[in-house]
Amino acid sequence: MVIIDIVKVFLPAVGAFILGVLATPLLTNFLYSHKMWKKKSGKIALDGEEAVIFNGLHKEKEVNTPRMGGVIVWFSSATIIIGIWIISKILPGDITIKLDFLSRSQTWLPLATLLLGAWVGLIDDYLEIKGSKKEDYKNGGLSLKKRLIIVAVIALACAWWFYVKLDVTGIGLPFKLFGGELYLGPFFIILFLFTALFIYAGGVIDGLDGLAGGVFTTMFAAYGGIAFYQQQIDLAAFCAALAGGLLAFLWFNIPPARFYMSETGTMGLTITLTVVAFMTDRLGDGYGFLVLPIIALPLVITVFSNLIQIFSKKFRGKKVFLVAPLHHHFEAIGWPAYKVTMRYWVFSLVCAIAGITLALIG
């Protein structure tokens, strides 16, 4: 049984990677032939002013490189997930049925959030590309407020499912403190909502070639390991499929990037990461939520660096960082982009190892 479980987890990862690599030339041809990139480089900062330093660093990088690269991630992983399920129905047998990991109890919800977030992000990417203006830094796309509202609605639906359908009313605690659970009652929904919005805000880590792909791969691989330890094999296979799709994306996103992940990748991935963290909590008799700030520490740092910058400019009248989020600050002080990316990969791996260790020893 252990062998079939291992195959069940690793097969989707390999399959998603191979499919993603094979599908990329088709996607690349479409994106380049239709010029699916911003028509003007640069952006407006969160305070509404022009991001001068950022625009100076990236004035030549954002044009002529397509967005929507995140399609590779969710297309390859979802196709493998659904494809294995279809095979198990068409050719039912001991092996095909055991390899199927599309289940109502573990993978329906994260797959739904992945695809829903990806499609909303795809719409945003398309609107941004078509609505970009050549005369200024303002672009089309859904406003930040609208995107946060959409993420909040999806998160509330997921929180309701956990609270009402799955009877999750708290979070796990290590070392059996308070009986191993902190009871939250209805406040669980608020915690889930806040977590989803916070992790989504960390999606702006998609700012350098290869950065987001490497960090997200590590995070989902970590939760795949935790789910496997908890015997949530279907969820572990789901995380592995996502990791395989992310590696396929990363294969073409290392410098110089063939395309950017953009919103169609980050929105679906961040919401799904939140769902997976809670799936490995009370449902797995663990505390996947408490280790989320450790495993996802690169995202946490990204969000806090933005918040610190905003509040410092508002109340102190000056910046803490040359440019936020933090990975762009490192660029601004002279680190080559590839060095920032690779050091984030190393840091993300260390965080993942620490998070897995804490999740297993409690």
**Angular region, 50: left φ>0, alpha ψ -120 to 50, beta rest:** beta
- Residue 47 pLDDT more than 60? no
Please tell me whether the overall predicted TM-score, pTM, comes out greater than 0.85 for this model.
yes
Give tens-digit pLDDT for 22-35. 999 999 999 999 99
Q: What is the pLDDT of residue 226?
A: 98
Percent of the chain whose pLDDT exceeds 90: 80
* Number of structural domains found in the chain: 1
Give tens-digit pLDDT for 216-239. 999 999 999 999 999 999 999 999
**Secondary structure (H, E, C), 23-72:** HHHHHHHHHHHCCCCCCCCCCECCCCCECHHHHHHHCCCCCCCCCCCCHH
Over residues 94-109, the mean pLDDT reads: 94
Q: What is the pLDDT of residue 45?
A: 59
Give tens-digit pLDDT for 52-67. 566 656 666 667 889 9
Q: What is the pLDDT of residue 282?
A: 94
Q: What is the pLDDT of residue 137?
A: 47
**Secondary structure (H, E, C), the chain:** CHHHHHHHHHHHHHHHHHHHHHHHHHHHHHHHHCCCCCCCCCCECCCCCECHHHHHHHCCCCCCCCCCCCHHHHHHHHHHHHHHHHHHHHCCCHHHHHHCCCCCCCCHHHHHHHHHHHHHHHHHHHHHHHHCCCCCCCCCCCCHHHHHHHHHHHHHHHHHHHHHHCCCCEEECHHHHHHHEEECCCHHHHHHHHHHHHHHHHHHHCCCCCHHHHHHHHHHHHHHHHHHHCCCHHHHHHHHHHHHHHHHHHHHHCCCCCCCCCHHHHHHHHHHHHHHHHHCCHHHCCCCCCCHHHHCHHHHHHHHHHHHHHHHHHHCCCCCCCCCCHHHHHHHCCCCHHHHHHHHHHHHHHHHHHHHHHHHHC
The mean pLDDT of the chain is: 91
Note down the domain range covering 116: 2-361
- Residue 142 pLDDT more than 80? yes
- Residue 135 pLDDT more than 50? no
